[in-house]
Structure 1
Amino acid sequence: MCQLLGMNCNVPTDIVFSFEGFRQRGGLTDHHSDGWGIAFFEGDGCRMFLDHQPSALSPLADLVHKYPIKSRNVVAHIRKATQGEVSLANTHPFKRELWGRYWLFAHNGNLTDLPPMASSRFQPVGTTDSEYAFCWLMDQLGLRYPSKPPLDELHATMAALAAELAKHGTFNFLLSDGTALFARCATDLHYIIRQAPFAMAHLSDADVSVDFARYTQPSDHVAVIATQPLTDNENWIRIAQGELLRFEDGVVHRLTNVAPAEPVRIHAA
């Protein structure tokens, strides 16, 4: 299946170190060679790089690695195709607008017999189950809320909707609007929060190390989420199967007892 990478921080941070290890899994240290993508939130905007070539061999990936873009929320994906041809339109992450904000989504897994759209506002461009599931999520959220709800309520509703989609197959995903990053585990998803005292880290997929103490401030909090741990000398935490976590300012939040919003009933004209 595919590989996911996300980052959520309390200060703009570059993802060069993590991306250097992650990109090797796209055709070098692993077989996920059907395209890759990465997107960075910058204020209300979003900078995206997509390529249907393997990330380990992609000149565009070389550019991203040499370009230390700083962001508080990043979503990246390396694809192993299950549904849909290898093409730019089928490359994650996908982007849509909801409540006046961009949303980014990347999926690892395989979904079948997905439920129909309740409205026509969000439609997939490509032919993947992943993009369809993302559009369905956005569609359902837009029908339930005319504007963005409090994050605790949104978290609860997102978890309920994700559970519905998970009935149709494997549903690991990352989702962000630039203020928070949601991470759901179905099979494999791990995270680490780097904070003071910062230490040395060494990549699993490349012989590269970095001393984070040289590049950080004591108040920095940086959460990194990946399908499999990216380093071999740090203690990564495995997310429980079926759990949806929310990361804000480099801090993890688990689901509270807030009830999800009720479905909106659509009446035919």
Structure 2
Amino acid sequence: MCQLLAMNSFKPARLDFSLAGFLRRGGETGEHADGWGAAFFGEEGCRHIIDEQASARSPLAQAVQQQAVSACNIIVHIRKATRGAVTSENCHPFVRKLWGREWAFAHNGTLEQVDASATGHFRAVGQTDSELAFCSLLNALREEFGEQAPELQAQIDCLDAVSAKLARHGSFNFVMSNGETLFARRATELSYVQRAYPFGCARLLDCAMNIDFARHNHLDDRMVIVATAPLTDEAWQPLPQGEVIAFQRGMAHTASPMQFAV
């Protein structure tokens, strides 16, 4: 299946260390060689990048790493095709606009017989079950709340209910962001780690790279990294299974705050 990576940060941050390991899984240390994509949310909106080449061999992926883009929310996906041809239109993340914000979505798993609603505002362009599921989520939000965004908890509750219905059709791990909030759902595999003061050191599992985060961060920096499989030797923890979790400013937004392993 595909691989997911996402970040939610208190302040704009770079993800190039994690990307150095993650993108190697697209055709080098992993079999996910059917395209990749990323969405970086900055002050000017969402920078959306997709490429049907394997990320481990993509010149565009190398350029993104060299640019070291800073953002508060980032979503990255490397694809192993199960539905739809290996084309750019089927590469995640998918992006749509709702409530004046761009939303980006990436999915890991396979869903059977997903109906995005022929009368819905949001329609799929490619042939993937993932894009259909994304349109289903956004259609549900728009139909439930109209043209005005509700409070965050109402969004979580709606996404949780619709996700549970979609999950009846297969495996539904996803990450989604509107540039302010990162939403994530684990069905099978999805883990997280929080990086905050006091910062430690980490080693990538996919290549020989180490970092001392204390040398690159300020005392008030704080971020959460979410990935299908741990990227480093840090104390990653699985997300709660079968529910939508939201992250803002590098922390979880839940009724019972999650205890992060730092």
How far residue 44 of structure 1 moved from its aligned partner, in angstroms, is 5.0
Which piece of structure 1 moves more, 66-75 or 113-122?
113-122
1:44–1:101 CA contact under 8 A, matched in 2: no
User: Which residue identity lines up with residue 241 of structure 1 in the other structure?
Assistant: Q
User: Distance in 2 between the 1:20 and 1:39 partners?
Assistant: 16
Residues 150 and 44 (structure 1), Cα distance of their counterparts in 2 relative to 1, 3 Å cut: farther
User: Partner residue of 1:40?
Assistant: 40
Amino acid at match of 2:166: L
* 1:52 and 1:86 in contact (8 A); partners too: yes
Q: Report the equivalent of 1:95.
A: 95
Q: What is the CA-CA distance between 1:68 and the residue it aligns to?
A: 1.0
Residue aligned with 1:92, SS: coil
- Work out the CA distance in 2 between the residues paired with 1:93 and 1:33: 15
Q: Which amino acid aligns with 2:187?
A: A
Contact 2:116 2:123 in 1 (8 A): no
Amino acid in the other structure paired with 1:134: F
**Contact 1:118–1:140 (8 Å) recurs in 2:** no
Q: Kindly indicate whether the alpha-carbon contact (under 8 Å) linking 1:119 and 1:139 is maintained by their aligned counterparts in 2.
A: no
8 Å contact from structure 2 (residues 94, 105) kept in 1? yes
Equivalent-residue separation in structure 2 for 1:131 and 1:255 (angstroms): 29
SS at match of 1:112: coil
Q: Deviation at 1:97?
A: 0.4
Aligned length: 255
Q: CA RMSD in A?
A: 1.1
Contact 1:84 1:90 (C-alpha < 8 Å) held by counterparts = yes
Gaps of 5+ in 1: 257-269
Cα distance in 1, alignment partners of residues 96 and 71 from structure 2: 19
Contact 1:245–1:255 (8 Å) recurs in 2: no
SS at match of 2:30: coil
Structure 2: which 5+ runs fail to align? 257-262
Aligned 8 A contact 1:174 1:183 in 2: yes
Structure 1 position 106 matched with structure 2 position 103? no
Aligned residue for 1:205? 206
TM-score for both structures, normalised by structure 2: 0.95
Per the alignment, residue 264 of structure 1 pairs with none
Secondary structure at the counterpart of residue 86 of structure 1? coil
Residue by residue over 1:111-147, the C-alpha shift from the partner in whole angstroms, topping out at 9 and shown as x without a partner, is 0111351624111110000001101111111011121
| 1:164 and 2:165 are equivalent in the alignment | yes
Determine helix, strand or coil for the equivalent of 1:56: helix
Could you state the TM-score of these two structures normalised by the residue count of structure 1? 0.93
